[in-house]
Amino acid sequence: MYELDLTILFAGVVAGAAPIVLAALGETITEKAGIINLSLDGTILLSAMAAFVVAFETDNILLGFVVAAGVGAMVAAIVAFFSIYLNQSQVAVGFVLTLMTRDMAYFLGNSYSRIQGPQVTPLPLGFLKNIPLVGPVFFNQNIPVYFSLVMILFCWWYMYRTPLGLQLRSVGEHPRASYARGINPKKLQMFYAICGGLLVGLAGATFSLSVKPGWGRPQGAEGTGWIALAIVIFGGWHPLKAAMGAYLFAFLQVMGIYCQQWVPSVPAQVFQVAPFPLMIFTLLVMSLAQKESVLSWAEDKAGMKSILAFFSGTIPTSLGKPYRPD
Amino acid sequence: MGQIEMGRFFRYLIEGMLTLLAVFFFTTIILLASGAPPFAAYYHIFKGSLGSWSKLAHVIKVWIPLTLCASGLLYTFRIGLWNIGVEGQIMLGAVFTTAVLRLGAAESMPMLFLGLSFIAGIAGGAIWAIISGYLKTKGGVHEIFAGLGLNFVGQGIILWLIFGPWRRPGVASMSGTELFSQKLWISFIPVLRFSPVGLALALTALVSTALILRYTHMGLNLKAVGNNQDAAYLLGLKPDRYMITAMIFAGGFAGLAGSVQVTGVYHRLLPAISSNYGYLALLVVMLANYNVWITPAVAFFFACLNVGSIQLPMMLKIDSSLSGVIQGSLVLATLAVFSWRTHKKRFQEQLRHV
């Protein structure tokens, strides 16, 4: 009865993961530059609401995406400004904004709840969609999904293959050294926090205009921001690994629905918890992998060594500690 | 000297007024943007929270878990830990409490088992806190991520229990487990439906926290570790041990809040048992500037906002989340004013050195 059609399954995973990929990439950029934006969960909801309302009122989906990106950028700018220029804890400000933007989204979007609105139409890509297996999975989607795919490669290329990307990573690792090289860490951190915020805003719009169309309380995007934060860590602050994490999570989510058919007594929400123990486990392995004793213990165990190597991502050294001139 | 004190007092007063004014303007703009009459909204929040004795009782019912969690958070903030896992600690407290009350013998000896269930609740919250404490001290996992992860795991455990082993006979649903028999409810004042036991517990927690932090060695040591871990270590204090101790206090109080919610408010376990009070308590303590005696006042104000805004959907057809907007903008504005003050001070010091 529940025939598992693999192409449909994977196409669903790629489409459903699009907003998570965007949010995780945005947060990866932000954290690589040394700023931790904890407000993701609320930001996604607020931008989702803004996108839906704007698209509904103007009947212009593109404008919805633009406004959502603006909302995301604004929230990120507040976090970065409080931390870089006002010397406040990023975690504290981000946390307050998480709660506040979520409530603002519910409050302002109240009169647009549960109404039919515009949504993104699919746009199969001509000849590409006819490639067997890969075609229907990747090229029979809509523009936000294509955008998320392109962004994965772009982020990786920008961070690791361009001089600007080197600057981005340097302010997250050692802002003092980059200052000595003539870079203004404050400006750069502010800039990349806003860039990350733009992507997070687009993630919100992708929810309300494509993946879970419409607005309401709850919208269905709740918790995604926290998951994206977990995925950034799981991905070891690397855009490609983070994207992989997002797809893995979307896959788990879809499998959760199938699992529920096999074990009906367990609600789907229980399976959605999966990324969080994984996040804790990743962090634990990551920090253990830096300990001498653990390394020597894993020396003669081939399996252990590769596990440690997989989780060997290192946290940006100055994450959460903005640059202070003497 | 007195004059300087007065001057500082007035400056704080003016800053406080400015903060309130800024928040007032911000929320009014938000209200206007949503097309609701602002003053009617403020009036309904006021009337819905302090308008009658039963409304006030409801406010106190919210104040109790908020104050319990905030008391616990004072320990962890004092030592410099961001115990965001307080939400999950409430949940585990509630789960452990429910587990004890579900024992077959509970109804024959209600008083004994109620007492045991409170101890179990404290233990449940403390265990969840100890896990994130050890992840921090032994595993090198930041307490925010450990706590956050455990919050979601806690939510998963509750959902699994409600839909699995503890599901209601017949149909399992989001409305929670079966209601306990009346014998297992903690005593409450019938008309106002609020329990003096919970109130007494919250007050005890608050006063004991104040005394411990102010007058004991432990309180001083927590502060020492929080201010400078390396210096504290050189003094012979073990930072790890004090971090775990602070987490146990925070988790214990949060677990107790979970017990009160189960035995005194809902009389069952339900998915939203923590009602976000843990997250809200973090805001309370931040807005109180980590001061023990300001904390209950802020908690009361936040409870008023929460309870008062319940009226809004009915009266004005606007969402009750307005309270969250007011609370969040209050904390943000206070942080901004606070940093402006320190900024100015630092600037003046730099000038003096010139």
Taking CA–CA distances from B161, the nearest residue in chain A reads: A266
Between residues 245 and 304 of chain A, which touch chain B (CB distance below 8 Å)?
265-267, 269-270, 272-273, 276-277, 279-280, 283-284, 287-288, 290
- Give the residue extent of every domain in chain B: 58-287
User: What's the pLDDT score for residue A266?
Assistant: 65
For residue A212, count other CB atoms closer than 10 A to its CB: 19
Taking CA–CA distances from B350, the nearest residue in chain A reads: A326
Q: What is the pLDDT of residues B2-34, one digit of tens each?
A: 666 778 788 888 888 889 999 999 999 999 988
User: What's the pLDDT score for residue A201?
Assistant: 97
Contact yes or no for A298/A290 (Cβ under 8 A): no
Mean of the per-residue pLDDT values for chain A? 87
Give the C-alpha distances (Å, rounded to integers) separating A193 from A233, B53, B329: 17, 48, 21
> Within its chain, how far is the Cα of B292 from the centroid?
13
User: What's the pLDDT score for residue A10?
Assistant: 87
Q: Is pLDDT larger for residue A323 or for residue B102?
A: B102
| Interface confidence (ipTM) of the complex | 0.89
Which CATH number belongs to the domain containing residue A220 in this structure? 1.10.3470
| Pairwise CB contact (< 8 Å): B145 & A233 | yes
**Within a domain: A257:** yes
Taking CA–CA distances from B337, the nearest residue in chain A reads: A86
Between residues 61 and 90 of chain A, which touch chain B (CB distance below 8 Å)?
78, 82, 86-88
- Nearest-angstrom CA–CA distance, B160 and B141: 26
Is B163 a residue whose pLDDT tops 80? yes
User: What's the pLDDT score for residue A136?
Assistant: 80
Selecting from A99, A217, A270 the residue whose C-beta is nearest the C-beta of B328 gives A99
- Nearest-angstrom CA–CA distance, B191 and B299: 24
Taking CA–CA distances from B154, the nearest residue in chain A reads: A273
- Nearest-angstrom CA–CA distance, A182 and A197: 26
- A173 by DSSP, 3-state: which? helix
- Nearest-angstrom CA–CA distance, B75 and B68: 12
Chain B residues in contact with A276 (beta carbon < 8 A): 148-150, 152-153
Domain holding A229, by residue range, is: 6-310
Mean pLDDT of B230-252: 92
Is B125 a residue whose pLDDT tops 70? yes
User: What's the pLDDT score for residue A268?
Assistant: 66
State the smallest CA–CA distance between residue B238 and chain A in angstroms: 20
Mean of the per-residue pLDDT values for chain B? 89
**Cα R_g (chain B), whole angstroms:** 22
- Nearest-angstrom CA–CA distance, B241 and B254: 20
Which tokens belong to B306? 């929460």
User: What's the pLDDT score for residue B86?
Assistant: 96
| Pairwise CB contact (< 8 Å): B332 & A223 | no
Contact yes or no for A208/A214 (Cβ under 8 A): yes
Q: What is the pLDDT of residues A131-163, one digit of tens each?
A: 877 788 888 888 999 999 999 999 999 999 999
State the smallest CA–CA distance between residue A41 and chain B in angstroms: 12
Among A210-214, A282-286, B198-202, the minimum mean pLDDT is found in A282-286
- pLDDT interval class at A122 (50, 70, 90): confident
Between residues 301 and 320 of chain A, which touch chain B (CB distance below 8 Å)?
none
User: What's the pLDDT score for residue A4?
Assistant: 59
Taking CA–CA distances from A275, the nearest residue in chain B reads: B149
| Pairwise CB contact (< 8 Å): B141 & A280 | yes
Is A1 a residue whose pLDDT tops 50? no
Taking CA–CA distances from A108, the nearest residue in chain B reads: B34
Q: Is A45 on the interface with B (CB under 8 A)?
A: no
Selecting from A78, A107, A270 the residue whose C-beta is nearest the C-beta of B322 gives A107
- Nearest-angstrom CA–CA distance, B152 and B160: 12
- Nearest-angstrom CA–CA distance, B352 and B354: 5
Is B353 a residue whose pLDDT tops 70? no
**Within a domain: A177:** yes
- Nearest-angstrom CA–CA distance, B112 and A219: 44
Domain count, chain A: 1
Q: Percentage of residues in chain B with pLDDT exceeding 70?
A: 95
Q: How many CB pairs under 8 A join A and B?
A: 145
**Within a domain: A303:** yes
**Within a domain: A178:** yes
- Nearest-angstrom CA–CA distance, B329 and B19: 9
Closest CA to A43 of A112, A92, A95: A95
